[in-house]
Each structure stands twice: as structure tokens, then as C-alpha cells.
Structure 1
Amino acid sequence: MSNSGTSVDISGSTGAGKDKSSQGSADRDESDDRGGNTSVPAPECVGALCYRIPITYEVGILRPTLTDVASFAPAGLGLTDEPDGVGIVGMPVNFVVTATTHEQTGELFELPVTVRFTPDSVVFAYGDGATRTAADGGRSLSALGLPQFSATPTSHAYAARGTYTASALVRYAAEVDFGSGWVPVPGLLAIPTTNATIDVLEARTALVDRTCIEDPAGIGC
């Protein structure tokens, strides 16, 4: 019997090929009434059992769904905004979700399994009705080497002052391994992040003759 993982091959054979010397008295030379020698041949093997009989059973490949692997999914992540909790009308607020590949072992269909989740994309909802789908969760301004209020692939500029609640969905592609290699699970699993609250203010400028360092009591200082 052999098992390839997707089929089981069961075979059998008889002793038809045994040496005739071991077949008993029917194989020995005996004398007839005329004193001569005669040879009695071994019985001829007939029937299907005289040959190797392959019997193949197809074994169905397990096809888990997103519902099946949902319990292995990573927990929701935090959503970071820069600068922290504050924005200015018309200037970009940077948002970051740090999503990484997640693996977990356990049992599925009463079999040991490893489930792997890989971030596919992130959907940002900025709280003012605007959304954006990004290829990843973005990076901090310091990691990008940018100053505050710089535009990034995950940033958003609010058009009016107010308090907004932003959130995001991390969409993961899932794979399972029952011991014979990774098998993709159809679809994407969306895991919500925590919310982030941003107070968006208006910035007003004034033309002065000295800076706040030079005149700490000056207008706007």
C-alpha cells in the first residue's frame, strides 16, 4: 500500500510464481504402469488474483473556508495617527497600522494544522466619509524621513474642523498546511483595528515683526 497524499494504492498478489519444487507431490516425476516416467505439471494459476491488482482510492483534498480558519486569525491592531490626536484643517494627518504575517498552529477537522495570515491590503476610514485602500499599513513620518503634516500613501487632510473617529480594516490572505504544503483559502479576512480620535483645528497666521523667541508676549505666542 502506498499513499501519495491524494490517493491510496492498495495491491496484492498470489504465490503463483513459487518454485515448482515446493508445490508438493503433484510436481514430482512418477512411474506409470508401463514403467516410464511422466511429469505432472503444477496446476495452472487462473483468475484475477494471479496478477497484481491495483486498487486506487481517491482521497478528497481538504478545502477550508475563511469561516473555518477565523479562530486562528490575529487580533485587531492599533491605529496610529500623526501628530497624535491632533490635525489642522487642510493639512495631512498620517495614519499607520503595523500589520505583519501571522502563523498559528492547532487542530482543524480533527487534524493538526498550521494557518498563516499575510496582510493583503488595508482599508482606511477617516471618519469624515472618506476612505482609502492602501497596499499596506503605511509607515511613520520618522521612518519615512518626513516632517509633520507631510502627505503619505496613507494620510488624509480634513476639510473642516471638528472631532473625527478614524478606523481601518486589515485584509488578510489565509493559507493552511496539514503537513503536505500550503493551500490557499479563497477570499480575504478583514480584521478591524482600534479607533483613533482626531481633533482637527484651524490654523490662523499673523504677520509680526518678531518671532515668539524674540518676543514671547507677541501676537500668537
Structure 2
Amino acid sequence: MGRLDTMVQRRRSLGRGDSLFRAGDPLHALYVASAGAFKTVVVNASGEEHVLGFHLPGELFGLDAIGSGSHRCEAIALGEAKVCELPFASLSAVATELPSLQRQLLRVMGQSSDRDHDHVDVLSRRQASERIALFLHGLGERYRRIDQPGDDFQLPMSRDEIARYLGLALETVSRGFTRLHEDRVIEVHARRIRILDPAALQAAASGCEPEAPRGVSRRSRA
């Protein structure tokens, strides 16, 4: 970690909506947000934005440029954010000297690939309610990995951005949140999410209707 800290080329502060890099920019560095969060997006020919992913504090991103040498998407701050730049050339050199760092980088790239694969699965095979539950469950797991509470967190992204990520209409996402709230699976206050019934959320993410506690009946799904 000491080697990585000395490798940081610069630390940048960004405001909501500021771009960290854009599609076509050459690969100069990988990034770790020390505060705030980012989304990566592509914009189609008609100007419609598609959200490819969200990046939380402590997560490494900018990996999309490693294969081609240039970024394929744009990274945008979701709010006030601070980011550390790790020059790619220096990172590669240090990774050859520190096998533990090299293994960690490979693990991070593998996790990024897994998320991309899971996202394709979500968009192609999952019903709307499953997508929403799976998104919240996965976000909680990611918060745990960065040593933050995974059952009580603030969403850094808007519901519209969640809808663009999940390939759903904004109204569908809002109804999904409301249903999970009314079923006492989660508690929603603006962007704050509390997971009240992790087993039920995981079951909903798997497309299963969890068994209701005795004396309590869940609302009809019709």
C-alpha cells in the first residue's frame, strides 16, 4: 500500500456531473475514488445515455481501456468526489515486482469481468422485479467488501440512473422499490436503503417468492 501511495500521480476533486475521462481518451491511469462515486456511461447516436456500471469508494476503475489502449466509455461523478490517479505504466512496473499486487490486480479485473457478465445476464434473462432486487443485493455486498454497512446505505445514484443501468423505465424502478418497501423487505427513505429481510431480498433476486412469516401474508404479485 505504501508503494501504491507513492505512485499516485495526483488526487483530483470533481463536482457532480464532472467527467473523469471520456470515450476515446487514451489510457494514462487507473482510478480509485477516495470519496464519492462514479458512473460509466455510453451515449448512442440519438443522444440517449446508457449506464454501464457504478463505482464505489475504494473500487478500482478505468479498466475498460486496458485492452485497446483507449477508453470505451465516459466516467462521470455522481456527486462531490475525490479520486486518486494511478499511472498505468508505473502500476504495471510495480506489479511485476510485487506478486501480491499482481494477484490483487488480476482479482479486481476478474471481479469487473464477472460484473459485466452478470449485467448481461440481468438484462437478457431477468424479470424487472428480479433486476431491482439483484441490484440492491449486489450493492449491499459491494459495500461490505469496502468495509461499509451492507444493510444500511445511501444510494449515490438516482432512480433514473438505476433504470438506465437495469434497462427499465423509471416508473418500473419506482414501483419495484415501493413494492419491496411495502413488503417489509427493505425500508426506503429518499436515497437511504435499509435491508430488513436479507433472505427475502435474495429470494426476490433469484425469482423466488419467499415464504411469509406465520400470520403475515405478502401482497399478491398479480
Where on the TM-score scale, by shorter chain, does this alignment land: which range? under 0.3
Q: What TM-score do the two structures reach when normalised by structure 2?
A: 0.22
- Bigger radius of gyration, 1 or 2? 1
**Higher helix content, 1 or 2:** 2
Q: What TM-score do the two structures reach when normalised by structure 1?
A: 0.22
**Higher strand content, 1 or 2:** 1
